[in-house]
Amino acid sequence: MSATFLGMPGNFPQNSALAVQDSQLRYNLRKATHTIRGKRATVVGELSDWAELRAAGKAIKDETLRHLDRYLIQLEEAVTRAGGTVHWARDAAEANRIVAGLVQATGETEVVKVKSMATQEIGLNEALAEQGITAYETDLAELIVQLGDDFPSHILVPAIHRNRAEIRDIFLDRMGDAPPDLTDEPAALAEAARLHLRERFLRSKVAISGANFMVAETGTLVVLESEGNGRMCLTLPETLISVVGIEKLLPSWRDLEVFLQLLPRSSTGERMNPYTSTWTGSVEGQDFHLVLLDNGRTDVLADEVGRQALRCIRCSACLNVCPVYERAGGHAYGSVYPGPIGAILTPQLRGMSSALDASLPYASSLCGACFEVCPVAIDIPEVLVDLRAKAPHGPAERAGMRVAGWIFNDHVRLAKAQRLAGRLRKLVPRRLPGPASAWTDTRDLPEIPAESFRDWWERDERA
Amino acid sequence: MRVALFITCVNDTLFPGTGKAAVSLLRRLGCDVEFPAAQTCCGQMHVNTGYREEGVRLARHFTEVFAAYDAVVAPSGSCAAMIREQYPKLVRPGSRGAAAIAEVTPKVFELSEFLIDVLQVDDVGAYFPHRVTYHPTCHSLRGLRLADRPTRLLRNVRGLDLVPLPAADECCGFGGTFAVKNPAVSAAMGADKVRNVLDTGAEVLCAADNSCLMHIGGTLGRQRTGVRVMHLAEILAATETAMEGTST
Amino acid sequence: MSAREEILARIRRAVDGAPEVEIRRAYRTTSEVADLVRLFAERVDDYRAIVHVIPAAEVPARIAGLVGDRRMIIPDGLPREWAAGVPAGLHDADGVVTGCAVAIAETGTIVLDSGPGQGSRAQTLVPDYHLCVVRAGQIVPGVPEAVARLDPARPLTWISGPSATSDIELNRVEGVHGPRTLEVIISS
């Protein structure tokens, strides 16, 4: 996945421990996630058939994945018939090569971009830069991130970790044409971005996008957005290159009736997002290229439990309800996919060979809030637990768990262990050394009773 | 009614008072309570930490121990959820273990479920003259979907003043080994939960899970707040004659 | 092996033996809405767009009144009586008047399909002011009815309120790159 995040050190516990100490970050995250959580709950509550939409969404995605080969071929035919060109990329490097080649063929050295998770995942901007091509992000939050030399920390709202004052400072520092008297009013900041990007939109000859959905039956691509930067990029430039994960497919046009209800309500908490664009092949004389991206997705597909992660429509509802995300922030996950969905997607796409990736399946208390709000019913706790079984375990933990398993395997052994603990109970210090300090640094230990329940029963009740 | 008590390893070892309270409560309601001595642990810690093999062994052990009973009551939402929700996913459908699990899991109840759905009582005749707030715990709320069963029982306790807990549905940050694998985030979640508990002005924080209470109670204790934690069974077991049961 | 062949082969290996899936569409595909115009007007208004509900006969005069002497794009196929203001090109226009292909009451959405009187996609994007006329008969209750009416071969733009962003502390701000003012006339 992206080279963007290779600089992220350590593992999730270390990264999140730093984040927890950042009171400004915690305030920003708490405010933002609670706001959007409430909005989502309201608009989801408006639909009497939400459960049925969710069940249909899940089934449609599962059906698509079951016959993904067939639907991709159907899509390719439809796009080609409509005047578009379809490219296939096994991995990030291949996708980046294809896109760079297409841009170079136009003779341009600048491109405008619509916010896209797939292109972040493959590190496209950095790859284009190596070829002398500058990619300009046009989504407001992506612009904030790009200008601030920062990393996105949320799927929907990449600059969620920044508040208005910080954004104003970034604009004043890094956006050449920001008015010197810029205030931190959101409307003033949005206006500054509007003016900054307007000329670029009108000038750019090449745009790069992702897509929220692709319809196999018709060859139609669908992009949902709010600001209009998407419309600018999709319609004005002469060449449009869309990089889309192979799992973004839907079999039929009709399926949009489900997803155009599920996505906006789950994502921004609106009945409908301000703008949705759909196009089929080459439109109004535009040269259209579709790059279909695998980059680990077929490995995920091969996993019976983990493949449900490919149902994800990137709404980010799971981030907004996650108590761990709320306190750790997106950067701690070290991936373009943070939060609960990231904790199951990243280790599947990248493997678990790094300390960071191996720690991600444990970045959850398994509280289940994510599963409850997921519009395509991805059982994230189930996948987390499954990944934990595949994750590498340290030797000390493994030994401890083996001993615990051995004791629990036999009630006589368990009773003996309990009696031993009972005898030693006065010797337990208030603060424990070593790894056990992780508990006692902030919490008292429960008092160990003199007698276990089973011994009491044996003595008192059995007769 | 012949009922097997699945005490759970945490209650057995650390919170025997909860088990004693459950026994006295169930007997008061006319149940013939048995304690199958061969029981140990449901395997949740192993499975949820990534040690599936050990967990499956413990799940098999559980199904053998409790196969013969009509009803199994567990004073823990988390362990009951483990058995009912996760056991079926641990084994291949159609295997021998799958049949045994399918046999036993529908007979396993969390305590408040058993009282309301099986015994059909929502007033257990308890007396507990204190201000109490209730934390629903994740696995009871979103796993078992206990909904208002525990609070219905608490509302009918004489003398008890039940005050709502703000942001009750948010996880307390325990999460089993999460509490030690991600101590910073776990503690931050616990601190927020404690703040909400303190905002209620309650004397007692109640839940149907001692593992969550161990975490929240440990935080309350470290901060010397004076708020006690009590398992649901202990409050429901308390009567005018046996004041407050045992509160270990 | 080409990338295409390799990806397809990987997929076939990955899903080999996976169970078939049945799709049940138990959600609403049609809805009964007592007053479509009212619901649509309310929902458009929720996005802080400006809404007028007027009889069809009054539409031309209302357009003229709203547009005044603004420089306007007049899309091909726009009903002659809806043309108002000073005709202008894409880059010097203040606004655009269009009709629409379909409108959705439940979500307050108008959909343009580049048909007659709806302009090209750029024409409804670049100017800062978009005045859209929706005939009452074009309003459907929900998203499923709209999807069924639309032609996927045409480029579609679904518009729900003015351009907006929630990227700063999740505060909604109207008006970023698309038209900052959306005005909708519902002709009943």
Q: What is the pLDDT of residue A443?
A: 95
Specify the CATH number for B2-118; select among 3.30.70, 1.10.287, 2.40.128, 3.40.50.
3.40.50
Retrieve residue A433's tokens. 């050394």
Is A138 inside any structural domain?
Answer: yes
- Taking a C-beta distance cutoff of 8 angstroms, is the pair A87, A98 a contact? yes
Within-domain flag for A160: yes
Length of chain B: 248
Asked if B185's CB is within 8 angstroms of A408's CB, the reply is no
CA–CA separation, B241 vs B230, rounded Å?
19
CA geometry: angle A286, A289, A293, nearest 5 deg = 155
In whole angstroms, give the CA distance from residue A392 to residue C78. 66
The number of C-alpha atoms within 13 Å of A351 and in the hemisphere containing its C-beta is 3
Task: Please report, for chain C, the start and end positions of each structural domain, with discontinuous segments joined by +.
Answer: 33-187
Three-state DSSP class for B4?
strand
Q: Which residue has the higher pLDDT, B96 or C164?
A: C164
Give yes or no for C22 touching A (CB within 8 A).
yes
**Range in A281-295, A424-438, B199-213, B234-248 the model is least confident about:** B234-248
Give the model's pLDDT for residue C174: 86
Average pLDDT over residues B20-47: 97
Assess whether the region B2-118 and the region B131-237 belong to the same CATH fold.
yes
CB C50 within 8 A of CB C179: no
Model pLDDT, residue B248: 43
Residue A237 lies in a domain: yes
Q: Which ipTM did the prediction report?
A: 0.97
Please give the share of chain A, as a percent, with pLDDT higher than 90.
Answer: 91
CATH number corresponding to C33-187: 3.40.50.10420
- Asked if residue C186 lies in contact with residue C53, where contact means CB atoms within 8 angstroms, the answer is yes
Residue A433 has pLDDT above 90, yes or no: no
Predicted local confidence at residue A8, as pLDDT = 59
Domain boundaries, given as residue ranges, for chain B: 2-118, 131-237
pLDDT band, residue B243 (cuts 50/70/90): low
In chain B, the DSSP E strands lie at 2-5, 32-34, 71-74, 108-110, 131-134, 161-163, 204-207, 228-231
Residue A45 lies in a domain: yes
Fold (topology level) of B131-237? Rossmann fold (3.40.50)
pLDDT class of A371 with cuts at 50, 70, 90: very high
User: Which of A236, A267, A298 marks a domain boundary?
Assistant: A298
Residues 79-98, chain B, touching A (beta carbon < 8 A): 86, 89
Q: What total of structural domains would you count in chain A? A: 2
Percent of chain C with pLDDT over 90: 92
Q: Is residue A347 part of a domain?
A: no
pLDDT, mean of residues A205-231: 97
Q: Please tell me the least confidently modeled range out of A179-193, A377-391, B38-52, C92-106.
A: A179-193
- Domain boundary pick from A298, A321, A354: A298
Q: Does residue A284 lie within any of the structural domains?
A: yes
Q: Does chain A touch chain B (at least 3 C-beta pairs within 8 Å)?
A: yes
Number of Cβ within 10 Å of residue B124's Cβ equals 19
Q: What percentage of chain B carries pLDDT values higher than 90?
A: 93
pLDDT at B131: 98
A429 confidence band (pLDDT: 50, 70, 90): confident
Mutant choice from A49, A238, A298, A349 vs C, greatest count of C C-beta within 10 A: A298
Global pTM reads 0.96
C55: exposed, middle or buried (Cβ count in 10 Å: 0-12, 13-18, 19+): exposed
Q: Residue A387: inside a domain, yes or no?
A: no
Which domain covers residue A432, as residue numbers?
A: 396-461
Whether C167 has a pLDDT exceeding 90, the answer reads: no
Tens digit of each residue's pLDDT (9 = 90 or more) over A108-144: 999 999 999 999 999 999 999 999 999 999 999 999 9
CATH number at residue A129: 3.40.50.10420
State the Cα–Cα distance between residues B141 and B194, nearest whole angstrom: 19
Q: Which candidate from C46, C120, C170 shows the least CB-CB separation from A35?
A: C170
3-class DSSP string for chain C: CCHHHHHHHHHHHHHCCCCCCCCCCCCCCCCCCCCHHHHHHHHHHHCCCEEEEECHHHHHHHHHHHHCCCEEECCCCCCHHHCCCEECCCCCCCEEEECCCEEECCCCEEEECCCCCCCCCCCCCCCCEEEEEEEHHHEECCHHHHHHHCCCCCCEEEECCCCEEEEECCEEEECCCCCCEEEEEEEC
Ranking A155-169, B12-26, C67-81 by mean pLDDT, the lowest is: A155-169
Query: Residues 60..89 of C with a Cβ closer than 8 Å to A: which?
Result: none
* pLDDT tens string A48-93: 999 999 999 999 999 999 999 999 999 999 999 999 999 999 999 9
pLDDT at B220 (0 to 100):
97
Comparison of pLDDT for A49 and A160, the residue scoring more = A49
